[in-house]
Amino acid sequence: MDLTYKANGTYTEVLAAGRLNMVSAPKLRTFVADVVASGSNRIVVNLGETTFMDSSGLGALIGCLKAARQAGGDLRIAAVQPQVKMVLELTSMDRVLTSYASAEEAFGDD
């Protein structure tokens, strides 16, 4: 999984490309924790190029959400692909991790 980020004014967008599974999940957790530690507590994880997610990946997203909220912010997801959306819906985690069409929309109404 390739991870990059860019600051977009009021939030930071984390771009996750590849497979979010047990191998890459710890990498995502650490990456987002580092972004939060640098002072960005409003995070959008862009999953537009994430082709697969398993339960480990879901756990990593929940861990990232917790880290952002503990820092006084929030984490949202954007551009969710069909397989990832299915995992979110099957586990009812789509109620916790609200999905937006794009990173711009995720914090656009705040």
What local confidence, expressed as pLDDT, does residue 28 receive?
98
**Average pLDDT score over residue span 2-9:** 94
**Average pLDDT score over residue span 75-90:** 96
On average, the pLDDT of the chain sits at 95
Domains of the chain: 2-103 (3.30.750.24)
Question: Any idea what DSSP says for residue 73?
Answer: -
- Joined together, the tokens standing for residue 63 give 């861990």
pTM of the prediction? 0.94
Q: Which amino acid is at 54?
A: D
Say if CB 42 and CB 14 are below 8 A apart: no
Q: Strand 74-78's sheet: what is its strand order?
A: 2-7, 12-20, 42-53, 74-78, 99-100
Q: Which amino acid is at 12?
A: T
Say if CB 1 and CB 20 are below 8 A apart: yes
How many CB atoms lie under 10 A from the CB of residue 110? 9
